[in-house]
Amino acid sequence: MEPLRITPRLHLLDHSIGQSYLWRDDDELTLVDAGWAGSADVTTAAIRAAGLDPDRLARIVLTHGHRDHVGAAQELADRHGAAIVSHRLDAPYVRGELPVPEPDLLEWELPLWEHGLTVPEAPPTRVDREVGDGEELGFGNGAVAVHTPGHTPGSMAVHLPRHGVLFTGDTVASVQGVTFGVFHVDRALALESLRRLAELRPSVLCCGHGPAVTSDTAEQLAAAAAAGAVAL
């Protein structure tokens, strides 16, 4: 896996189904989402390929509890000394204490969902820090958690206002342009979350699926929010 440089501080790591993002501060690294179970080796190698030391990994921030985002988190955290961060409402799913809620699938989503289930199931994973809406996350000159319920109860985005960067998890997708995401537990609530994210007007959009968006970003996100009602 070759890391894709988005900005001097930001790389995308593509796991083919889902992806994670590597953020570099001056003295430490943060991973947003962690890829599949079993992908820790390729993630470590990708960090090195970006010219960075994986032992500087200070935290892994999980946008939600689905297997393609959580799978390698604990292996990476144990290997490199990172703390694992999750919204408190998804923490029981991450730890394996409760089953991940089933999404309310539209008919056209069924084959996509079945394909996603080919990703290995995530092992029970510790959560070192549970956060809520508006809490600072300790990186990126003031990164904050933005609770975005709907995809899962404890889905959260990560906003770096000083850098104009927004990590959306799966509330938003960018596979075929910027669109409302799929596989939501509560589609109406997820749409409300999308509208809230659009109000942040980021310049760099990092979704759980699809390439990073770096041009006309705020406008594309606003258009996705306006069009999202047709997906209900």
Q: What is the pLDDT of residues 165-221, one digit of tens each?
A: 999 999 999 999 999 999 999 999 999 999 999 999 999 999 999 999 999 999 999
Token pair for residue 35?
Answer: 């890829």
Token pair for residue 136?
Answer: 């600072």
230: pLDDT strictly greater than 70? no
Place of tokens 């029970």: 124
Place of tokens 């109406």: 188
- Alpha-carbon span 143 to 162, nearest angstrom: 8
Rounded to 5 degrees, what are φ and ψ at 63? -75, -25
- Which DSSP letter does residue 31 get? E
Token pair for residue 70?
Answer: 């959580």
Residue whose C-alpha is closest to residue 172's, from 223, 136, 122, 216: 223
CA-to-CA separations, 199 to 33, 149, 150, 172, 224, in angstroms, rounded: 23, 16, 17, 14, 12
> pLDDT (tens digit, 9 = 90+) per residue, 68-122?
999 999 999 999 999 999 999 999 999 999 999 999 988 888 888 888 878 899 9
- Mean pLDDT (the chain) is 95
Record the pTM. Answer: 0.96
Token pair for residue 74?
Answer: 């604990």
CA atoms 129, 61, 152, 227: torsion sign? positive
